[in-house]
């Protein structure tokens, strides 16, 4: 099995926290969509005949794309990769939802919506420069349900600076009351090349401290568990059988083809990416060349990537599988840090698989770094 990710690099406006590749020049959308169609044709053999299980439209704001253009892409994918798809997801913003757009999406086979809500508070939405209102956020799921959609995910951001945790508590309560079945929650991160990043440099914005963000993460874990949501990845929570199949496949190292500017791909052994530039992407394609650039990850880089990804999930890091692929005995090689982290109740090992505890999930990246290997370990 394999998946296809289609990156739609267009937004109405720039969110103050976002450093993903996007453009607000909507007049250039049609050439990029044409380029996506051309790239699909040129890269149809990338997955070596693996049947396509999932399709994911991400961005950017895929819900900005006219319905007939999305349908054209889906038709082309079906022609190139025929067969039943288990999941077709569209990232959608609340302000793009209407009975007409929802009916069109559902009619073309899209069966899951990932709703970019981020907050139910107008104060926060304005600070983030989101295009939708709190009212639109609250109405989004019911509007989609009324059109026949049954599978949803809500995206939220926690860690917005405030005198207390009341805004986040309200957001989380609202999200769980709506009962979407799936929730993705990410800490507000200040990236250098964003509006927030510039404001921090100029002293116009003060990000919260780590303790403030950690407290909100712990509240997220507790409230989701009370509501019957399983934390199957550090930032992702779901009710039984509501996991995002496409994203889960990323974490399980299942191959996927990434189409569109800045999209990444993985064929099972190596990774690559398209340039994060719409003009450069089109220039390559129009010149008869693939925009795809192969990543030069060495053996240590590949192993460390698997360590980081595995530890973030409920499936854990299977050290036997790691050894089969890379001939590395991680349990022996990292015995000392593993013993230390186990004693600190940050992780535990069962059946040669390493799992983070709830306490350890707060420090996932730093824990993973203690288990990372270097060239000396693979000689």
Cα(352)–Cα(24) distance, integer angstroms = 48
Are 14 and 22 a contacting pair, CB within 8 Å? yes
Asked if the model's pLDDT at residue 45 lies above 90, the reply is: yes
Phi first, then psi, for residue 360 (nearest 5°) are -70, -30
Around Cβ 205, how many Cβ atoms within 10 Å?
16
Instruction: Please compute the mean of the pLDDT values over residues 106-111 and round it to a whole number.
Output: 97
**Does 28 reside within a domain?**
yes
Summarize pLDDT for 251-308 with one digit per residue, the tens.
999 999 999 999 999 998 889 999 999 999 999 999 999 999 998 788 898 999 999 9
Q: Residue 220: its pLDDT value, please?
A: 98
Asked if the model's pLDDT at residue 60 lies above 70, the reply is: yes
CATH of the domain at 62: 3.20.20.70
Judgement on whether residues 194 and 90 belong to the same structural domain of the protein: yes
Judgement on whether residues 332 and 193 belong to the same structural domain of the protein: no
Cα(307)–Cα(365) distance, integer angstroms = 10
Judgement on whether residues 225 and 304 belong to the same structural domain of the protein: no
Asked if the model's pLDDT at residue 201 lies above 90, the reply is: yes
Are 101 and 66 a contacting pair, CB within 8 Å? no
Judgement on whether residues 308 and 215 belong to the same structural domain of the protein: no
Percent of the chain with pLDDT over 90: 96
**Does 110 reside within a domain?**
yes
Q: Which residue range is the domain that position 356 belongs to?
A: 299-378
**Does 142 reside within a domain?**
yes
Judgement on whether residues 237 and 370 belong to the same structural domain of the protein: no
Cα(354)–Cα(13) distance, integer angstroms = 42
**Does 94 reside within a domain?**
yes
Are 54 and 40 a contacting pair, CB within 8 Å? no
**Does 255 reside within a domain?**
no
Judgement on whether residues 105 and 227 belong to the same structural domain of the protein: yes
Judgement on whether residues 330 and 243 belong to the same structural domain of the protein: no
CATH of the domain at 363: 1.10.10.920
Cα(362)–Cα(360) distance, integer angstroms = 5
**Does 287 reside within a domain?**
no
Percent of the chain with pLDDT over 70: 100
Summarize pLDDT for 276-292 with one digit per residue, the tens.
999 999 999 999 999 99
Judgement on whether residues 21 and 134 belong to the same structural domain of the protein: yes
Summarize pLDDT for 131-156 with one digit per residue, the tens.
999 999 999 999 999 999 999 999 99
Instruction: Please compute the mean of the pLDDT values over residues 57-64 and round it to a whole number.
Output: 97
Judgement on whether residues 197 and 308 belong to the same structural domain of the protein: no
Q: Residue 376: its pLDDT value, please?
A: 78
Q: Residue 298: its pLDDT value, please?
A: 86
**Does 289 reside within a domain?**
no
Asked if the model's pLDDT at residue 379 lies above 70, the reply is: no
* DSSP codes, 59-77: ES-GGGS-HHHHHHHHHHH
Give how many domains the chain has, as a whole number. Answer: 2
Q: Which residues of 66-75 are buried (b: 16+ CB within 10 A; e: fewer)?
A: ebebbbbbbe
Instruction: Please compute the mean of the pLDDT values over residues 54-74 and round it to a whole number.
Output: 97
Residue position matching structure tokens 């309200």: 170
Judgement on whether residues 238 and 315 belong to the same structural domain of the protein: no
**Does 241 reside within a domain?**
yes
Give the up-direction half-sphere exposure of residue 201: CA atoms within 13 A in the CB hemisphere: 8
């Amino acid at each position: 099995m394999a998946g296809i990710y289609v990156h739609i690099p267009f937004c109405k406006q720039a969110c103050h926290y976002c450093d993903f590749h996007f453009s607000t020049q909507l007049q250039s959308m049609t050439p990029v969509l044409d380029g996506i169609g051309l790239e699909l044709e040129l890269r149809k053999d990338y997955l070596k005949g693996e049947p396509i299980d999932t399709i994911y439209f991400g961005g950017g704001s895929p819900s900005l794309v006219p319905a007939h253009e999305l349908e054209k892409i889906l038709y082309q994918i079906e022609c190139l990769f025929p067969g039943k798809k288990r999941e077709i997801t569209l990232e959608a913003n609340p302000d793009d939802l209407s009975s007409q757009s929802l009916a069109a999406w559902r009619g073309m086979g899209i069966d899951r919506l990932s709703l970019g809500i981020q907050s139910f508070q107008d104060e926060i939405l304005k600070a983030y420069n989101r295009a939708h209102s709190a009212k639109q956020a609250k109405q989004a799921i019911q509007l989609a349900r009324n059109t026949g959609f049954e599978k949803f995910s809500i995206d939220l951001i926690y860690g917005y600076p405030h005198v207390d945790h009341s805004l986040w508590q309200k957001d989380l309560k609202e999200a769980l009351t709506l009962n979407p079945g799936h929730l993705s929650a990410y800490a507000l991160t200040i990236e250098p090349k964003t509006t927030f990043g510039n404001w921090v440099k100029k002293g116009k914005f003060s990000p919260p401290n780590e303790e403030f963000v950690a407290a909100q993460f712990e509240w997220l874990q507790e409230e989701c568990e009370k509501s019957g949501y399983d934390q199957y990845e550090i930032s992702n929570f779901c009710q039984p059988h509501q996991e995002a199949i496409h994203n889960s496949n990323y974490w399980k190292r299942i191959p996927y083809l990434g189409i569109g500017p800045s999209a990444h791909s993985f064929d099972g052994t190596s990774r690559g990416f398209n340039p994060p530039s719409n003009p450069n992407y089109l220039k390559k394609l129009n010149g008869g060349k693939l925009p795809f650039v192969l990543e030069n990850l060495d053996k240590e880089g590949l192993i460390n990537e698997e360590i980081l990804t595995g530890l973030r999930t409920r499936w854990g890091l299977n050290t036997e599988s790691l050894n089969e692929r890379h001939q590395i005995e991680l349990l022996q090689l990292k015995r000392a840090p593993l013993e230390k982290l186990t004693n600190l109740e940050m992780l535990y090992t069962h059946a040669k698989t390493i799992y983070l505890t709830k306490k350890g999930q707060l420090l996932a990246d730093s824990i993973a770094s203690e288990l990372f290997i270097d060239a000396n370990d693979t000689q």
